[in-house]
């Protein structure tokens, strides 16, 4: 008998001892970070206060109670009973039964009506049919990504369960080492922006945090071949943890599966969906530009299949000696500050990912309240001594002025923006400004993935600010559905018609002008002195966006060294509107550290150019008298 089986036998005995005599325990199993208890009395367990909570405290595991097969009413009969139980105005769209888990997934327009007061309707459903109801919301905007991900995971249920069981056994394996250390190795994004990647290792475990590309620098990838990284093979990793979906953090995760990785990815549910969207677009852009993609779409699907979504605030075992808790980072939808608790109180490390400390129209600001943190790995994108962003209200006023001036000149306003995060923030600003008459009502064309990314936002309203969530769900005032927003879906022919037509705002990817539809717009509008290009986000060194921002008035589009290269004389106006970035500025980063509870002993300043990380590191040392570093790539720090 394997050690995992012995552990499960011991746990089953504990569960039987801790539960009342009238409750039968059929079996227990590890599935990912959860301990699953199968019982024909699942409803009894659910209805008795304290049973699951007490088991979780005793076993120090996340507990999921599921019914055994014989406790389930056949699906056809169950469907009829469930339909009769749920109020008609709940807007149920679909019922999906999973026999392996005993769960019935109920997709509805109004999940609250399915749940009922204090969960009464769910209790009635479970008592009537034996199935455990799980409610998912029908997105207010149809999202092909959300639909495709849900359908794909449904098709892969059997294999996914095998993955979860294998991961569960790996997490719960016996520890074997008497050594006591924690090391952190930097594989990218040190003294640079992009290709974020770190290895967190102990004598027992190895965790990869992020695995991204570098904008504007083809071929510069994380140092995965380093001895501290994957020299022993991809499956020397216990887990991959993804802070958020932007490509400089997520683009190269599928390449791990190309080379044989078969372990879990931990992130939030919206990050999982956005990750898939952006990675598939990454492949599409590479193909259109004649570049060889580093992986195929199958590896993107493999990444989705191996993702275990976590909710903010849930403490989760991801290795025998490491627990992970994710907290809102305020950067984009689903972005997380990742807190790692190592050993039995041995050490605590937090990775900020990308953070925005203050509230925005879209998201609440980053969380920085942790039980303990000895080391903080802190982004420094805007950490330079002069990197103070304009107040958001001032930024919005400047943007309105830019738009009004271009409108008066009968020109277009071209705004390159990240599809995820900045675009939705700008849509909220533009919708309100037009509704209040601060700018003329005109078409706002969404080009690239922006509309699809926006639909994903509406599928996860619980991650948005309260007032925005209320507008989307309950007040029938979804700002993202305002009639002035129009999708560009006719290719270059439609773009030409827009360029020849009335004044308009064009919100387009890519945000750093490194490819995508913004290139077509530069061809069409670049030589028009009446039009204006407005930068609202960070432009990394080496990108075309940074060159234009610095005043370059002749640019090359397409393959800069090949026969397809095209020179464009840039005569359109160029404006930079600070304050819309999803990153905290210097003041925000200092405030994040100052108000941390508790404050860390050591900070590593990363994800910024060399001067920026050095300036922030020095400032934090002087202001808070703590150890700080601005590491290079391929450095290893012994933390404990």
Query: Strand, helix or coil at 636?
Result: strand
Binding-site residues sit at 244, 246, 248-249, 331, 354, 607
The backbone region for 421, taken as left when phi is positive above 0, alpha when psi lies in -120 to 50, beta otherwise, is: left
The per-residue b/e assignment along 76-115, b for 16 or more CB within 10 angstroms, e otherwise, is eebbeebeebbeeebbbeebebbeebbbbbbbbbbbebbb
> What is the dihedral angle through the alpha carbons of 500, 433, 540, 566, rounded to the nearest 10 degrees?
0
Q: What is the DSSP letter of 517?
A: T
Binding-site residues for Zn(2+) sit at 244, 246, 248-249, 331, 354, 607
What is the maximal distance between C-alpha atoms in the chain? 81
What is the arrangement of strands in the sheet containing 197-201, beginning at the earlier edge strand?
307-309, 265-267, 239-241, 206-209, 197-201, 183-188, 636-638
Cβ proximity of 220 and 226 under 8 Å: no
Say if strands 566-569 and 554-557 run parallel, antiparallel, or are unpaired. antiparallel
Cβ proximity of 382 and 586 under 8 Å: yes
Helix (H) or strand (E) run with residue 169 in it: helix 157-171
Contacts of 283 (CB under 8 A, 6+ apart): 293, 295, 296, 297, 300
Pairwise CA distance, residues 384 & 271, whole Å: 28
């Amino acid at each position: 008998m394997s050690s995992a089986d012995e552990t499960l036998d011991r746990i089953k005995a504990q569960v039987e001892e801790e539960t009342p005599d009238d409750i039968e325990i059929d079996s227990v199993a590890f599935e990912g970070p959860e301990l699953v208890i199968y019982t024909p009395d699942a409803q009894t367990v659910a209805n008795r206060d304290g049973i699951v909570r007490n088991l979780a405290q005793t076993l120090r595991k996340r507990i999921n109670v599921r019914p055994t097969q014989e406790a389930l009413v056949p699906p056809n009969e169950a469907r009829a009973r469930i339909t009769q139980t749920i109020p008609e105005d709940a807007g149920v769209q679909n019922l999906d039964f999973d026999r392996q888990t005993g769960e019935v997934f109920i997709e509805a327009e109004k999940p609250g009506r399915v749940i009922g007061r204090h969960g009464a309707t769910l209790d009635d459903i479970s008592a009537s049919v034996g199935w455990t109801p799980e409610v998912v919301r029908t997105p207010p905007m149809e999202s092909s990504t959300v639909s495709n991900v849900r359908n794909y995971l449904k098709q892969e249920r059997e294999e996914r369960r095998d993955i979860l069981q294998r991961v569960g056994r790996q997490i719960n394996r016996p520890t074997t080492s008497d050594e006591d250390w924690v090391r952190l190795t930097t594989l990218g994004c040190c003294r640079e922006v992009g290709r974020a990647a770190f290895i967190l290792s102990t004598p027992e475990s190895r965790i990869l945090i992020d695995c991204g590309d570098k904008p504007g620098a083809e071929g510069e990838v994380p140092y995965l071949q380093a001895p501290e990284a994957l020299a022993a093979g991809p499956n020397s990793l216990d887990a991959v943890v993804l802070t958020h979906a932007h490509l400089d953090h997520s683009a190269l995760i599928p390449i791990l599966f190309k080379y044989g990785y078969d372990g879990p990815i931990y992130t939030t549910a919206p990050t999982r969906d956005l990750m898939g969207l952006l990675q598939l677009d990454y492949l599409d852009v590479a193909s259109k530009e004649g570049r060889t993609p580093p992986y195929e779409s199958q590896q993107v699907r493999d990444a989705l299949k191996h993702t275990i979504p976590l909710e903010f605030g849930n403490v989760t075992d991801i290795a025998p000696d490491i627990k992970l808790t994710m907290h809102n980072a305020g950067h984009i939808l689903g972005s997380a500050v990742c807190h790692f608790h190592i050993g039995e109180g041995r050490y605590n490390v937090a990775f900020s990912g990308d953070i925005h400390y203050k509230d925005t129209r879209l998201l609440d600001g980053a969380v920085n309240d942790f039980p303990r943190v000895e080391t903080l790995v802190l982004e420094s994108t805007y950490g330079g001594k002069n990197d103070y962003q304009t107040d958001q209200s001032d930024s919005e006023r400047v943007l309105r002025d830019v738009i009004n001036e271009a409108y008066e000149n009968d020109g277009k306003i071209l705004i390159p923006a990240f599809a995820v995060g900045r675009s939705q923030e700008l849509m909220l600003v533009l919708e309100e400004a037009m509704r209040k008459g601060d700018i003329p009502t005109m078409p706002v064309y969404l080009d690239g993935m922006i509309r699809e990314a926006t639909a994903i936002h509406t599928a996860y309203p619980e991650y948005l600010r309260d007032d925005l969530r209320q507008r989307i769900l309950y007040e029938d005032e979804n700002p993202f559905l305002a009639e002035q927003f129009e999708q560009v879906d006719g290719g270059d022919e439609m773009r030409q018609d827009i360029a020849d037509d009335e004044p308009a705002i064009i919100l387009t990817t890519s945000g750093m002008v490194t490819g995508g539809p913004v290139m077509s717009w530069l061809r069409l509008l670049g030589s028009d002195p009446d039009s204006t290009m407005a930068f609202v986000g960070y432009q990394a060194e080496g990108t075309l966006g940074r060159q234009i921002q610095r005043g370059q008035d002749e640019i090359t589009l397409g393959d800069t060294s090949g026969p397809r290269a095209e020179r464009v004389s840039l005569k359109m106006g160029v404006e930079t509107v600070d304050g819309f970035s999803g990153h905290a500025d210097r003041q925000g980063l200092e405030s994040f550290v100052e108000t941390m509870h508790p404050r860390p002993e050591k900070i590593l300043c990363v994800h910024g150019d060399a001067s920026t990380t050095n300036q922030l590191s020095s400032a934090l040392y002087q202001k808070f008298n703590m150890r700080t570093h601005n590491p290079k790539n391929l450095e290893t720090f012994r933390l404990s």
